[in-house]
Structure 1
Amino acid sequence: MDKIIETLSKELNVRPEHAGAVVSLLDEGNTVPFIARYRKEQHGTMDDQTIRTLADRLQYLRGLEQRKNEVIAAVTALEKLTPELESAVMNAATMAEVEDLYRPYRPKRRTRAGIAREKGLEPLAKLLFTGLDDDGKITKESAESLAGGYIDPEKDVNTIEEALQGAKDIIAEDLSDDAEIRKKLRERIQQGGALKSSANTEEDTVYRLYYDFQESLKKLQSHQILAMDRGEREGVLKVSVLSGEFGPVQVMLQKVYSRHPFMELLREVAEDAWDRLIFPSLEREIRKELTERAAEQAIHTFALNLRPLLMQPPVKSKVTLGFDPAYRTGCKLAVVDGTGKVLETAVIYPTKPHNQTEKSKAVLKKLCDKHKVECIAIGNGTASRESEIFISEFIKEYPSNLSYMVVSEAGASVYSASKLGAEEFPDFDVSLRSAVSIARRLQDPLAELVKIDPKAIGVGQYQHDMPQARLSETLDGVVEDCVNAVGVDLNTASPSLLRRVAGITPTVAKNVTVYREENGSFKTRRELLKVPKLGPKAFEQCAGFLRVPESRQVLDRTAVHPESYKAAEKLLEICGYTLKDVGSLFELDKRLKELGTDKAAEACGVGVPTLRDIAAELQKPGRDPRDQLPPPILRTDVMDIADLKPGMKLTGTVRNVVDFGAFVDIGVHQDGLVHISQLSDRFVRDPSLVVKVGDIVEVTVLEVDERKKRISLSMKKQAQ
């Protein structure tokens, strides 16, 4: 375990005692949000993302240690374990190294070399490979002469040629199983090799870019690997690894002395081993590693995009009309109040084939007048463009301040058709549920998006090609971190939101809502302990992230953990305040500075990081981190792609970030692409280091292709 902690410490650049503390806390069953927020003294204020990275690596390293022990046990059972092999296995840094070392001892299918060994040709193979006689001197006999002594019709070795071929097969397999040789060859391919794809069809497809494509393994981007993988699976592409310009035979025979009597024979065997055994095997391994690396990068990008999407600033307390566009079946409308409660629904037909524009405007006006609608959320699906034009025209005619925003409806249909959607709105049809979801996404993106499988939210690439368990685990972690960073109102939160709170399982989330229905609103945090299956450990994990606005204990309304209430009260006391002053402590920082933070922390019985968190919460109880971000862009007019001209300067919202750039919504229904080369005046290695989903950015139009609906944008200052 000490070795694992040392590795984690080096990889994450954290102190060993902090890495060890996180490992212990995880092993004790603590959740990542709880550790990140309420155990800062133990881990040196690591953030939740670093802790999750540590948890992932811990799982891998423990799996690696387990595999090492399994290999050593397996080789020991064969009575072939040597101190050198044991040391090599225990010092291996990756699974690939361990498997290379185990390869010679792994049970094999019946191979040509195995058959040759059964025929008793292994001694001949050893003679030919070493070139030494029984006295350890270079043999003067020919290979044919040596092979003649192994002719044995009873063992089905009838000729010299058969004996030689069997011995060569054994040598080839031994070369193929040599861990050191495999490691060197793999490194040479990884350094100088390339991935090549070619067309397997004459049809024009989305993979045309890869019909004649070749790129260095070192320079390959994850989206290129995943695209080629998918094209190969669909039978459109042929994909292969090119080994690069180096001599594999020289690498394989590096340790063979130059005056070896059978050098030509060994070269022939090495070429056979390379072509028949080693390269096909290494190609499979390298392709697998490339795919795994690309998948991990794609999952990482998905997670990076999901976090800011979930953390988009809410449009709080505004009466909102959700507008789910459609053609033939009509546009579904749902008006919700400032808390998301549905007030009224309707269906209008402003788009083709009905084109009931005036009638639809009348229905819309009636709804807006009756409920004092302040903004409209339009889904970005089918007929969104026509719906946006219709809404824009309506706003010009409507005698009140009204604005709209086009909202991504990715996953809305998944929610609408789900068991959860049916439970929430049993009397609504699927499309009306979508309209409600679209309205709520504008009001509070986080509270609404937690109802949807994160994979369906649509801020990544190739999500269906990813290892689904790993993708779900990563994205669920992001959702959990976001929910806990914002905090949850215990008396209004849905089961979908509650189950994302640290320590609360889906069953407990349901129990919380049942308790709330049967007993009324929670009066205190401590009352949570009355909820079935919510014991002391779960309470410890979740309590700090749940707010009770109705509680007479003001600290129940904050992110201060119940275990720190006494510390919070002590801090107020030594600074000359009481609980009644919470929320208006304008000089708390000043008084704390005068006392000395270290001294105050000691007096309160907590560490300095916890003291600072408590002080921040006492000044702004239940603060929402999303309020510090720029508000979403609400529009009143609409543009068309035909209105765009090169050189135009616009403000837009980043909708997706990928390996090759970022897609930006500039209000023309079709997102524009800021290629990675146009993201900054400086060189950009990773787009996610420059922009994130939800960012409000200034862009310049570079090119517009109306036919292909492609818009090229730039964020470079020189372009603006």
Structure 2
Amino acid sequence: MDYASALQVQFGLQAWQANNIIQLIDEGNTIPFIARYRKEAHGSLDDQKLREVSERLEYLRSLEKRREEVRQLITEADCMTGEVEAALNAAETLSELDDVYRPFRPKRKTRASVARARGLAPLAEQIFAQKAGTPEPLELARAYVDPEKEVPDAAAALQGAMDIIAEMLSDDAGIRKRLRVVAMAQAVLASKAADPEKDSVYAQYYDFREPVRRIAGYRVLAVDRGEREGFLKVAVELDRARGLGIVCSVAAGPAAPESPCTAVCRAAAEDAYDRLIFPAIEREVRAALTENAAESAIQVFRMNLRQLLMQPPVKGKVAMGLDPGYRTGCKVAVVDPTGRVLDTGVIYPTHSKAKVEEGKKYLKDLILRRGVEIIAIGNGTASRETEAFAAGVIRELAGAGHTPAPAYMLVSEAGASVYSASKLAAQEFPDFDVTLRSAVSIARRLQDPLAELVKIDPKAIGVGQYQHDMPPKRLGEALGGVVEDCVNTVGVDLNTASPSLLEQVSGISAAVSKNIVAYREENGAFHSRSELKKVPKLGPKAFEQCAGFLRVAESENVLDNTAVHPESYAAAKELLKLCGFGLDGVRAGSLTGLPEKVEAIGYAAAAEKIGVGEPTLRDIVSELLRPGRDPRDELPPPLLRADVLSIEDLKPGMELTGTVRNVIDFGAFVDIGVHEDGLVHISKICNRFIKHPSEVLKVGDVVKVWVVSVDIPKKRIALTMRQP
């Protein structure tokens, strides 16, 4: 198969791009490395596009592997013909390959296989031929009566022949392909209540119908879940006459009108459609809807996770993490600007008045003694009470003249319990209680979301829709790719990174990440990127893949603290020389006018002189201007609060500022400073039509919203971004 041509058509690539991408992947290069350091080879495609191309290449290769398996199986069965070979070569999907193989696949016991064993296949062929002048089918059937073969009379023989014809029609790849196309275009997905008297969250689907071609993915997933939980009965409906017409066009189409066998073939076609073909097509349509909906949901999850991981860090501040709780109290942890734990404790802000006052005194003392500048509050159980308590402490500190008083932010604690009970957390904090580990994690999430969240299974982070209904393997691959791309986009400090962060770096395995940390603990901090070559099991290929994404701020060579790859160090030095600068100017930040000087020479000419491609030259210029830069620093900072609202305070028309917490197909959830996030429906996001909220919003955006309605008993808040 010509994979390059297939990728060209699907992704709009040039032949050279497709061929180079395939070659780079086959050489064992990672997607982040290809995206960043091989731009000339693929035309500066981004990591997301390259990952899509890589996934499609993998699918095409698995399709080709299956094609060869099917070809071999059919050949071994001595059934290969020119027509079958052509059908195999034309199949473009795994389901089409299965259609071709269906007639030759070993079958379990069926009505047709029983009829064949009774010697009725020749009768079926006679009837299906529908030749003019053929005797009545019942007359033909009399010749096949054989009590010893359990064919007691002509009617039984005729029924057996009809069963064989029905299975032949069911195995016809052309019929299935045509029906599949019609069903996807014209069928309706319908659901009804399993018990209309029983209330549930699926009430809106108790009498639901929507064309298959138009139904939104989140509705498909909701219906699927409702069916699994026993609240819904779901079916695919298609006009029977239309579907049956396709089967009959094959079963009786070419027959002469006067053939007495045609009516029998039509009856067999009806049986085939109702008993064999449409139930299979219905399963296929349901599976396709679910697969497409899951893929769409995975893409939403992917997008949200990317934005969450790329949230700007709150650097250089002492942070306090509060992990709320009722019975066991609120766990407290204070960490320094590098994330090192300074103090831990437990307070009881939801218990007696005496305990509340005791907690206030403890928190104030801790804030002042440790110089706490920001407070991160987990958004789980008892977070509303903890937030009100913390806001009260901040007000009292400000009132007593302690300025600046710390600000706070509600932080998603999704996955914190998963992390705190993990082996990784036990290794990191062997002396800490599980709940105290959660408090540390919450504080660190505010300081550096990426470094902390990579310790958690992405599925547990909870910024998608129906993520628990997704195929685990596919979801894991997709989200793992996002984590890898984000870590490599930001870069990693080789001397402070945890093993869990290091193993997300291009080319570094879990075993090698542990070896890096072990080497660091035994020999002290790394003094250069080249020292990485001394780490056990980190060979030349791994070094090539990872070196550019690791930063060594302590290195004498300032290029070790940039995203310039070691393979381009000579080119970077040559560029500086060409423009009248030196490496000292990079460290001092005194390269003013470098872009202008390169522009004066001409990027194409300068690239040729230093021996790199133009995209690589542009990247080198960018890195020389700002060594050690963090791309997240260019994003708007997170919204910190100093006081608290409750849902009872909200009134329609009220204007608020909030942070987007989740973007889904039908809208976005926004944190407005009360315990419950408000929903901005897709129709309320902007004044123009949009297909998906992600066209306008992303996780972490700080937005202005207005309250539309508040349902206090159900704790639902409807918001709009369109000013009333």
TM-score (ref. length: structure 1): 0.97
Cα displacement (A) at 1:386:
0.7
Structure 1's 544 and 595: CA in aligned 2 closer, same or farther, altered over 3 A? same
Q: Is the 8 A contact 1:189 1:244 kept in 2?
A: no
Cα displacement (A) at 1:428:
1.1
Residues 202-238 of structure 1, C-alpha deviation per residue, up to 9 Å, x if partnerless?
3222222222222211122222222222222222221
Task: Quote the Cα distance in structure 2 between the aligned partners of 1:373 and 1:112.
Answer: 77
Residues 631-659 of structure 1, C-alpha deviation per residue, up to 9 Å, x if partnerless?
00000111111111111221111101111
Structure 1's 646 and 246: CA in aligned 2 closer, same or farther, altered over 3 A? farther
Aligned twin of 1:555? 559
Letter in 1 for 2:307: P
1:400 aligns with 2:395: no
Aligned twin of 1:252? 247
Q: Which of 485, 493, 500 lines up with 2:489 in the alignment? A: 485
Cα displacement (A) at 1:712:
0.7
Cα displacement (A) at 1:463:
2.0
1:528 aligns with 2:527: no
Residues 302-358 of structure 1, C-alpha deviation per residue, up to 9 Å, x if partnerless?
111100000000011111111111112111111111111111112111213566222
Task: Quote the Cα distance in structure 2 between the aligned partners of 1:276 and 1:695.
Answer: 53
Aligned twin of 1:37? 36
Cα displacement (A) at 1:148:
2.1
What does 1:311-710 align with in structure 2 at a 5 Å threshold? Answer: 311-352=310-351, 356-398=355-397, 399-401=402-404, 402-582=406-586, 583-710=589-716
Q: Is the 8 A contact 1:328 1:354 kept in 2?
A: no
Letter in 2 for 1:689: E
Cα displacement (A) at 1:155:
2.9
Q: Is the 8 A contact 1:417 1:430 kept in 2?
A: yes
Letter in 1 for 2:698: K
Between 593-602 and 394-403, report the one with greater CA deviation. Answer: 394-403
Cα displacement (A) at 1:359:
1.7
Q: Which of 210, 221, 225 lines up with 1:230 in the alignment? A: 225
Task: Quote the Cα distance in structure 1 between the aligned partners of 2:389 and 2:465.
Answer: 32
| 3-state DSSP of counterpart to 1:182 | helix
| 3-state DSSP of counterpart to 1:356 | helix
| 3-state DSSP of counterpart to 1:345 | strand
Task: Quote the Cα distance in structure 2 between the aligned partners of 1:249 and 1:472.
Answer: 41
Task: Quote the Cα distance in structure 1 between the aligned partners of 2:672 and 2:530.
Answer: 48
Letter in 1 for 2:18: A
Task: Quote the Cα distance in structure 2 between the aligned partners of 1:700 and 1:504.
Answer: 47
| 3-state DSSP of counterpart to 2:55 | helix
Aligned twin of 2:207? 212
Task: Quote the Cα distance in structure 1 between the aligned partners of 2:354 and 2:450.
Answer: 35
Structure 1 residue runs without a partner (length 5+) = 133-137
| 3-state DSSP of counterpart to 2:249 | coil
| 3-state DSSP of counterpart to 2:160 | helix
Count of residue pairs brought into register by the alignment: 712
Task: Quote the Cα distance in structure 2 between the aligned partners of 1:163 and 1:466.
Answer: 48
Structure 1's 636 and 244: CA in aligned 2 closer, same or farther, altered over 3 A? farther
Letter in 2 for 1:89: L
| 3-state DSSP of counterpart to 1:254 | helix
| 3-state DSSP of counterpart to 2:346 | strand
Cα displacement (A) at 1:531:
0.5
Q: Is the 8 A contact 2:145 2:152 kept in 1?
A: yes
| 3-state DSSP of counterpart to 1:253 | helix
Q: Which of 181, 188, 196 lines up with 1:194 in the alignment? A: 188
Aligned twin of 1:172? 166
Cα displacement (A) at 1:62:
0.5
| 3-state DSSP of counterpart to 1:239 | strand
Between 374-383 and 111-120, report the one with greater CA deviation. Answer: 111-120
Between 158-167 and 595-604, report the one with greater CA deviation. Answer: 158-167
Letter in 1 for 2:207: D
Residues 600-635 of structure 1, C-alpha deviation per residue, up to 9 Å, x if partnerless?
001111100001001100011121111111100000
Q: Is the 8 A contact 2:553 2:628 kept in 1?
A: no
Letter in 1 for 2:421: A
Q: Is the 8 A contact 1:192 1:245 kept in 2?
A: no
Task: Quote the Cα distance in structure 1 between the aligned partners of 2:403 and 2:604.
Answer: 55
Report the identity percentage: 60
Aligned twin of 1:66? 65
Cα displacement (A) at 1:701:
1.2
Between 347-356 and 403-412, report the one with greater CA deviation. Answer: 347-356
Residues 109-153 of structure 1, C-alpha deviation per residue, up to 9 Å, x if partnerless?
111111212222222212212211xxxxx1242222222222233
Q: Is the 8 A contact 2:650 2:710 kept in 1?
A: yes
Task: Quote the Cα distance in structure 2 between the aligned partners of 1:461 and 1:551.
Answer: 44
Structure 2 residue runs without a partner (length 5+) = none
Cα displacement (A) at 1:246:
4.4
Task: Quote the Cα distance in structure 2 between the aligned partners of 1:688 and 1:101.
Answer: 40
Aligned twin of 1:89? 88
Residues 225-273 of structure 1, C-alpha deviation per residue, up to 9 Å, x if partnerless?
2222222222222111112464222211224136152332222111111
Aligned twin of 2:238? 243
What does 1:298-317 align with in structure 2 at a 5 Å threshold? Answer: 298-317=297-316
Task: Quote the Cα distance in structure 1 between the aligned partners of 2:213 and 2:291.
Answer: 15
Q: Is the 8 A contact 2:130 2:262 kept in 1?
A: no
Q: Is the 8 A contact 2:411 2:446 kept in 1?
A: yes
Moved over 4 A (4+): none
Task: Quote the Cα distance in structure 2 between the aligned partners of 1:638 and 1:247.
Answer: 61
Letter in 1 for 2:413: E
| 3-state DSSP of counterpart to 1:240 | strand
Structure 1's 211 and 531: CA in aligned 2 closer, same or farther, altered over 3 A? same
Q: Is the 8 A contact 2:387 2:644 kept in 1?
A: yes
Cα displacement (A) at 1:466:
1.5
Letter in 2 for 1:471: L
Residues 572-609 of structure 1, C-alpha deviation per residue, up to 9 Å, x if partnerless?
01111111111321201100010010110011111000
Between 341-350 and 480-489, report the one with greater CA deviation. Answer: 341-350
What does 1:152-163 align with in structure 2 at a 5 Å threshold? Answer: 152-163=146-157
Task: Quote the Cα distance in structure 1 between the aligned partners of 2:576 and 2:489.
Answer: 24
- After superposition, the CA RMSD in angstroms is 1.4
Task: Quote the Cα distance in structure 1 between the aligned partners of 2:92 and 2:701.
Answer: 40
Task: Quote the Cα distance in structure 1 between the aligned partners of 2:664 and 2:314.
Answer: 27
Task: Quote the Cα distance in structure 2 between the aligned partners of 1:300 and 1:197.
Answer: 26
Task: Quote the Cα distance in structure 2 between the aligned partners of 1:575 and 1:264.
Answer: 88
Task: Quote the Cα distance in structure 2 between the aligned partners of 1:149 and 1:362.
Answer: 101
| 3-state DSSP of counterpart to 1:664 | strand
| 3-state DSSP of counterpart to 1:247 | helix
Aligned twin of 2:278? 279
| 3-state DSSP of counterpart to 1:80 | coil
1:146 aligns with 2:140: yes
Task: Quote the Cα distance in structure 1 between the aligned partners of 2:699 and 2:14.
Answer: 32
Letter in 2 for 1:707: P
